[in-house]
Structure 1
Amino acid sequence: MYRKVIFPVDLSHIDHLTKALATAADLAKHYDAEICYVGVTGTAPAPGAHSPAEYADKLAAFAAEQGSKHGVNATSKACTSPDPSIDTDKTLMTAITELGGDLVVMQTHAPSALDYIWAGHGDTIAAHADVSVFLVR
């Protein structure tokens, strides 16, 4: 049913993604699908990586670790944005289409009053993606 699972990941929040990572791996195993871990980074140096190339290397290492840990085919795609704070949703939507993903699995947070002002990334992707989106709380 699914061939390619897209998993948007923020490498600075890995410790909060345990349940979503396990869910994506379980679905990928069940459907013999690939998981592509997609991350968005800026062009300027940041605490997690000094350059987009360093970020891409860290994301590739993360994908390899997850693939080995869960026994799934895992790849990565690092996307660069001049300003990830405002471009992340658009950048992720473009990556989902370019990669040919047919399922997106994302970690999300419990809704709060603030979500009426600023939607979370998961909300936006679920509302606008042309593919199935599985939000994990």
Structure 2
Amino acid sequence: MPKPKTPEIKTIMLPVDMRHKEQSADAIAMAAQLTKSFGADFYVMTAAHPLGDEITEFPEHHKPEFEKYIQEMASAHGVSITALFRHHQSAEKMILEAAEEIKADLIVMHTHDPKITDHLFGSHASHIALHASCSVMVVR
């Protein structure tokens, strides 16, 4: 029997919803550990709504907060992180497009306890796991 091929992971991407960034702590810790283990490049992305949260703001208003967060996480976990800031109508679409753009080998995502709508429509993580062209690790 041939020996199974060990997957080569060169690029890891982790999407973060900045409105719930605290909930991504375990996923970031996991992705940082994998980054160190594989010697991979680590990207963290977020996607802001193109119209902003209010009529008077633009998505770029959120970019400085995101970049500060990335610096804090990189320092806390001792890894280099590249920030990906996107605008979206669909978070899932932006995640999948960014993963293709950077040629991600692994997407690490946080998921929450399912709500009734997740049972009916699926979660962001389930959508990404079903449609990504690379492996997806879902961290509870």
Shorter-chain TM range is 0.7 to 0.9
CA distance in 1 between partners of 2:80 and 2:10 (Å): 11
Specify the alignment match of 1:61 in structure 2. Answer: 68
Kindly state the Cα deviation for residue 118 of structure 1 after the two structures are TM-superposed: 1.3
Match of 2:91 among 88, 91, 98: 88
- Verify the 8 A CA contact 1:38 1:76 in the aligned structure 2: yes
Among candidates 43, 54, 67, match of residue 36 of structure 1:
43
Which deviations, in whole Å up to 9, do the C-alpha atoms of 1:82-110 show, x marking residues without a partner? Answer: x3xxx111111111101111110000123
Q: How many residues align?
A: 131
Within 5 Å, give how 1:1-137 maps onto structure 2: 1-46=8-53, 50-81=57-88, 83=89, 87-137=90-140
Q: For the residues of structure 1 that align with 2:36 and 2:104, how far apart are their CA atoms?
A: 16
Taking structure 2 as the reference length, the TM-score comes to 0.85
Give % identity: 29
Query: Any gaps of 5 or more consecutive residues in structure 1?
Result: none
* 1:66 to partner: Cα distance: 1.1
Unaligned residue ranges in structure 2 (runs of 5+):
1-7
Query: 1:112 deviation in Å?
Result: 5.0
1:131 Cα shift? 0.5
Asked if the contact 1:39/1:79 (under 8 Å) is kept, the reply is: yes
TM-score by length of 1: 0.87
Amino acid at match of 2:41: E
> How large is the Cα RMSD of the aligned pairs?
1.6
Q: CA deviation at 1:113?
A: 4.5
